[in-house]
Amino acid sequence: MENILVPTNFSKNCEKAAELGIQMAKIYDSEIHFYHLMQTPVDWVQLDKLKEKRYPETLKQIGIAKAKLRELEKKAEKEGLKCRTFLEYDAGQANILKHSGHFHHDFIITGSSGTKGVVREILGSNVEQIVRKAKVPVIVVKEDTVSFPFKNIIFVSDFQEDVKSAFKSVISIALKCNARIHLLQINTETDYNSIKSGKNWMSLLLKDFPELKNYSEHVYNEPTVEIGINQFVKQNETDLIAMCTHGKTGFLKLFSNSIAEGVTNHSTLPVMTIHI
């Protein structure tokens, strides 16, 4: 992990995401970038300095945003990190992914804002598209205090597809944090898998990772995947929930298109999604 992107709107949860980004950048010795997208009444990039004065409130907000980005930059530099900040005007949510691709970020970390549980209010609208389309892992920070280094990470999957690349990302974080990985499969009312067959799928995955020693295996029978995750979290200490996504159709075949958004929306814990 060489380059971490932290999109922010300076909300409380985005501040927690920024702190998490700084701490993760430290353990990976990564560069960190803070990015703020600002809506403006006109095309600000094309506006000359004289005309900018016609929009005093916008100028004020730009000044505030630049100052907050500078504060984040100072925090990162104080930790010995290389840091860059970016302020874009009225660019649209899709530009976060374009920006991330241009700078070859390995990871995106951000916080939800606004109404509790509403992911689409992170930095504006359509954040589900970032979670779904980002080619790199994304962590969304929610209401709960972030416990870092992570000590307990859930990796939720049906384990019937090739999730090795996604699992590598989870293992990388777990090893850096000395965390325990809890592999979790949830059989719903429409599934016919036994607990034994679920653990067989997990065992096949684990054969490719003989270096992994600190883990546990769990198979739950619950009405829905989200209920199963909630039940596990109630019964076990959890610092991070990790799930896989498909680019076009959304999520692994076990899951409906709304599962990961639902978990990310309603969980108060940080949720990590990984594109496969």
| Res. 257 pLDDT band, cuts 50 70 90 | very low
Structure tokens that stand for 193 in this block = 């898998």
Over the stretch 144-168, which tens digit does the pLDDT of each residue have? 889 999 999 999 988 877 889 999 9
Phi, psi of 42 (to 5 degrees): -140, 175
Please give the C-alpha separations between residue 29 and each of 76, 85, 137, 214, 264, in angstroms, as whole numbers.
Answer: 12, 18, 17, 24, 28
Domain regions of the chain by residue span = 3-141, 152-275
Which amino acid belongs to residue 170? V
Domain 152-275 matching CATH 3.30.530.20: the answer reads no
Whether the domain at 3-141 and the domain at 152-275 fall into the same CATH topology: yes
Residues 6+ apart with CB under 8 A from 24: 1, 4, 30, 107, 109, 148, 173
Residue 65 C-beta-side C-alpha neighbours within 13 Å: 21
What distance in Å separates the CA atoms of residue 39 and residue 123, rounded to the nearest whole number? 10
pTM of the model: 0.86
Over the stretch 168-225, which tens digit does the pLDDT of each residue have? 999 999 999 999 999 999 887 766 566 666 688 899 999 999 999 999 999 988 888 8
What distance in Å separates the CA atoms of residue 179 and residue 164, rounded to the nearest whole number? 18
Residue ranges in the chain assigned as alpha helix (H): 12-28, 49-52, 56-78, 94-102, 127-133, 164-177, 195-206, 225-235, 259-266
The CATH number of 3-141, from 3.40.50.300, 3.40.50.620, 3.40.1350.10, 1.20.1250.20, is 3.40.50.620
Find residue 117's DSSP bridge partners.
Answer: none
Average pLDDT of span 134-149: 89
